[in-house]
Every structure is written in C-alpha cells, then in structure tokens.
Amino acid sequence: MGSGVLKRGELVVPGDKVAVIEEFEPKYGFYEDLGVVRASIVGYPIFDMDKRIVYIEKTLSKNSIPRPGDDVYCIAYEVSDKIAFAHIIKVIGRPKVFQPPFTGVIHISRLKKAKVNSIREIVKLGDHLYASIISRRNNVYHLTISGPEFGVILARCPYCGLLLEKKDQNLVCSKCNIVEQRKISKYYGNFKIV
C-alpha cells in the first residue's frame, strides 16, 4: 500500500497548531499536547489524507546533503564542557528536512569570542540553533555559532517547557520568572528565516 493523497501545508514553526488528534496523528516533527497536534521543528507539514497522519516534509536525497559554507538549522542533543553535538535538520532556505538528520559538532575552541569555560554556559540540551558549517570530516560537520546571526533561536524553560522569550541579552520564562543565559542569535524566535 503506497501513500494516499498528500497535502502540503504552510511553513510551521515549533509550537504551531496544525490539527487536533482526532484529525491527524502526529509523526516526524510533530507532537500531541492536550489533544492538539503541534510542530516541534521548523518545516512544511505533509498531511496524509488516507492514513490521517501528519509529518514534516523530508528529504532522503543524497544530492541535497549540506556542504561547508551552508547555514543550517539544528537541534543540540548532547552538550558537554568542550563539545556539543547537534542534529542538522535542514539547510537554511531549503524547504525539506533531513531524515535521518546529519551530525554536527561545535567545539569550544570555535567560541573564543564568547569567553566561556564550558559550552554548557551558552548552549543547552534541546536548544534549536542557527549555525554555519565550517568543514566536513569523517561524515561529521563542524559548526560555528560565532557572529550575531548565529546561536540559539529557540530554547525552552527547564522547569515548565514553555518557549523562553528574549529580553535584552537574556532569555526569560514569563511563567516561572527565571532567567537563562545563551549565545543568542539575532533571529531568536524568528523562524521565518529558517
């Protein structure tokens, strides 16, 4: 049995509501929150009208792999003092997301200007990042987040999970009244550029 009728929706950003659970079951890139189906990453939703599922449009094409010089949207999945690992979800300006994602690393030596002792001070697990590819070695992409456009573009409150809001050079949770430090991109919260 192949795919049924597919409908492509408008660009979604994390937290956007696309359906209720009675209409579509969330697959890759979506989750259920109190009966509502919301996006967890940036991308274009594909609604499978027969299977009643929704997922982010993905690319399996080897022709569209990221290259040094590309700016990418990624999500940190492991952060230690000296190195952070991120899943590269897509190249900025190209619609499709990589499934499975590529692996990117950020090394602390690339963050001299940030003057930090540990990457954990400026990037945390689950942060969404706008980064640039410096090089590719052994199938791993080396990334930088130096420069005003690069850095964290979405982070969640560690206590309640709400999206943090940018206030001056900090991120704050309006519910818990906490302040979090990050290397913030000037595009924080602006997913239309992704």
Residues at the site binding Zn ion, with contacts judged by CB under 5 A = 157, 159-160, 162, 173, 175-176
Smaller CB separation from Zn ion, 36 or 176: 176
Please state the φ and ψ torsions of residue 120, each to the nearest 5 degrees. Answer: -55, -20
Smallest separation (angstroms) from Zn ion to the CB of 167: 14
By beta-carbon distance, which residue lies closest to Zn ion?
Answer: 157
Smaller CB separation from Zn ion, 21 or 179: 179
Please state the φ and ψ torsions of residue 113, each to the nearest 5 degrees. Answer: -65, -25
Smallest separation (angstroms) from Zn ion to the CB of 173: 3
Smallest separation (angstroms) from Zn ion to the CB of 152: 16
Determine whether 123 is exposed, middle or buried from the number of CB atoms within 10 Å of its CB (0-12, 13-18, 19+).
buried
Smaller CB separation from Zn ion, 39 or 173: 173
User: Does residue 11 contact residue 46 with C-beta atoms inside 8 Å?
Assistant: no
Smaller CB separation from Zn ion, 4 or 161: 161
Smallest separation (angstroms) from Zn ion to the CB of 191: 20
Smallest separation (angstroms) from Zn ion to the CB of 166: 15
Contacts of 78 (CB under 8 A, 6+ apart): 84, 85, 125
DSSP strands (E only) in 34-127: 36-39, 45-48, 53-56, 58-59, 71-79, 83-91, 97-98, 102-107
Smallest separation (angstroms) from Zn ion to the CB of 165: 10
Go through 168-191 and write b for each residue having 16 or more CB atoms within 10 A of its CB, e for each that does not: eeebbbeeeeeebebbbbebbbeb
Partners of 57 in beta bridges: none
Smaller CB separation from Zn ion, 147 or 161: 161
Smaller CB separation from Zn ion, 36 or 160: 160
